[in-house]
Chains A and B, each alone.
Chain A
Amino acid sequence: SQTIHQWPATLVQPVGSPLSLECTVEGTSNPNLYWYRQAAGRGLQLLFYSVGIGQISSEVPQNLSASRPQDRQFILSSKKLLLSDSGFYLCAWSVPQGLSEKLFFGSGTQLSVL
Chain B
Amino acid sequence: EDQVTQSPEALRLQEGESSSLNCSYTVSGLRGLFWYRQDPGKGPEFLFTLYSAGEEKEKERLKATLTKKESFLHITAPKPEDSATYLCGASGGSYIPTFGRGTSLIVHP
Contact = CB atoms under 8 A, between A and B. Distances in A.
Contact of A100 (B36, B43, B97, B99): B97
B34 to A, nearest CB: 7
Nearest to A98: B95
Interface stretch (B44-52, B55-63, B75-83): B44-52
B91 interface: yes
Contact of A44 (B41, B49, B87): B87
A108 B44 CA distance: 9
B49 A41 contact: no
Contacts of B95: 96, 100-101
Interface string A83-103: 000000010100010011111
Nearest to A109: B43
A70 B87 CA distance: 30
B43 A90 contact: yes
A102 to B, nearest CB: 6
Contacts of B36: 105
A82 interface: no
B102 A106 contact: no
B9 to A, nearest CB: 8
Nearest to B34: A102
Contacts of A34: 96
A90 B44 contact: yes
A100 B41 contact: no
B39 to A, nearest CB: 10
